[in-house]
Amino acid sequence: MQIPKEARRKARELFDAALDATGRPDATKTLSVADLLVKAAPRHALQILKEYTRLIRLATVKHHAVIESATPLDGVTRAAILKSLQERDGGEVTLESRVDPSLIGGARIRLGSEVWDATVQARIQNLTAIIS
């Protein structure tokens, strides 16, 4: 079901109100805006809330990095990657580490929709594609 333009516009207004000075979602504001929306129950409230939630999720994911590696990262490496990502992103970045032995070696980093893949698995797949 498509969201009405009115609901989309209202969700965007609420989303803008939930951002902090740096343009990132503020947790306190996000929850209070959602609470006010539920209590006020305007026309198309469910569609507004769905669109608002989607916008918050997309904005949050932009600043969340996932590092996948074949073995657990040591603290120094993790800190260096985090610092580099924060400099690139221009602000606070949350970091999540995952261990995936199938990567064989190296690491894959996702920040929002950007992916940097320096895994042995990816290199093998690239070579296989070239040879085939």
Domain identity same for 73 and 40: no
- The mean pLDDT value of the chain amounts to 91
Confidence of residue 1 (pLDDT cuts 50, 70, 90): low
**Nearest C-alpha neighbor of 105 from the set 77, 70, 73:** 70
Lateral strand order in the sheet of 94-99: 94-99, 64-69, 107-111, 114-117
Over the stretch 38-67, which tens digit does the pLDDT of each residue have?
888 888 888 999 999 999 999 988 889 999
The amino acid occupying position 51 is E
Domain identity same for 56 and 89: no
Confidence of residue 108 (pLDDT cuts 50, 70, 90): very high
Domain identity same for 57 and 26: yes
* pLDDT, mean of residues 102-115: 93
Last residue of a domain, one of 29, 61, 93: 61
Domain identity same for 22 and 43: yes
Q: What is the percent of the chain where pLDDT is above 70?
A: 99
**Nearest C-alpha neighbor of 109 from the set 85, 74, 129:** 85
Domain identity same for 116 and 84: yes
Total structural domains within the chain: 2
Domain identity same for 120 and 86: yes
Boundaries of domain holding 57:
5-61
For the entire predicted model, the pTM comes to: 0.71
